[in-house]
Amino acid sequence: MERIDKVLARYGITDYAVKERYHEDTDRILCRIATGNRDFFLRGLPGEKKEQTVRGNVLAHEYLGNQKHMAPEIIYTCDGSGYVAVDGQWFYMTEYIEGKNLEENAADEYALGQLTAKLHGIRGYGYPTGLNQDKTRFYGWFSDRHFKAEFDGIVDALPDFTQCEQCLIHSDIGPHNAMRRTGGETVLIDLDDAGIGARYLDLGWPFIMQFVDFNHQTEKMQYRFDLAIAFLRGYYGSRRLTGEEYDLIWQGAVFMHISYMQVYGPDAVESLWKILRFGMDRKQELWERWNALGLSDY
């Protein structure tokens, strides 16, 4: 609490209560701050984070929040700063969004697709994403796994996403990172790696990471075609989806899933490999279902 006292003093806040804490098992400080007439969200990042990373987070919130009203707005300190360093840790504060997270249903996926399209259509932002878009880092992975040769072949087939169409991306698109305000507007949250990056990495993220429903007890899987189609319909609206674009979406999906395959520790790798292969095998069926709706260009 002493550290939070020091941080909030920079904002001129001395009378407050910590209403909720999030992810207490991590080295971050994430909490809801209640004052007399308004709540805020305080985010503390480890001191080893580069200042340019923190600055990128804040710039994304300023642009998408304070200017575009598509994300939580940055709250400034008494001297006008967007972030501070206190006791070896970085901090910034945003408005607290009153509302609820989107859910994994067709209506919310449609709304999320619309919000993603709106994000990708924004022009004028220049700060790069914190997402590493270089596929060559994957070649050093999983040398001791039985699927190494097949894995490298999958990586070989991926394009160089640094050379693909770039726009403002979120990098972790999903219902968990979008909220509906009490007034009905949908907004994006958790802009940690938001910035200019490959559109198809952003668009592809949920097609394996989210739409493959994996039961951790039985290891049975199913593909949520209903959610995938709703998301695509929200994103493309009346525009037609070409086969070339569809391929790029799935290449982005593969890249993003692979990028998470070491995040959850070595015990999760085999399951994540199975999810990757299962998801890739659903690509053609999803395309056929999409075609049946008459929304594609062959």
Residue 296's pLDDT is 61
Predicted pLDDT at 257:
98
Per residue of the chain (298 residues), what is the pLDDT tens digit? Answer: 788 999 999 999 999 999 989 877 777 889 999 998 899 999 998 878 789 889 999 999 999 999 999 999 999 999 999 999 999 999 999 999 999 999 999 999 999 999 999 999 999 999 999 999 999 999 999 999 999 999 999 999 999 999 999 999 999 999 999 999 999 999 999 998 999 999 999 999 999 999 999 998 898 999 999 999 999 999 999 899 999 999 999 999 999 999 999 999 999 999 999 999 999 999 999 999 999 998 766 4
By C-alpha distance, which of 235, 252, 30 is closest to 120? 235
pTM for the predicted model, two decimal places: 0.93
Beta bridge partners of 31: 21, 42
- Region class of 40: left (phi > 0), else alpha (psi between -120 and 50), else beta: beta
CA nearest to 109, candidates 235, 286, 290: 235
Q: Give the per-residue pLDDT at 2.
A: 86
**Residue found under tokens 């009378």:** 15
Dihedral sign, CA of 93, 90, 64, 22? Answer: negative
Q: Is 108 within 8 Å of 176 (Cβ atoms)?
A: no
Quote the pLDDT of residue 130.
Answer: 92
Contacts of residue 150, Cβ cutoff 8 Å, sequence gap at least 6? none
- CB-based contact 241:290 (threshold 8 Å): yes
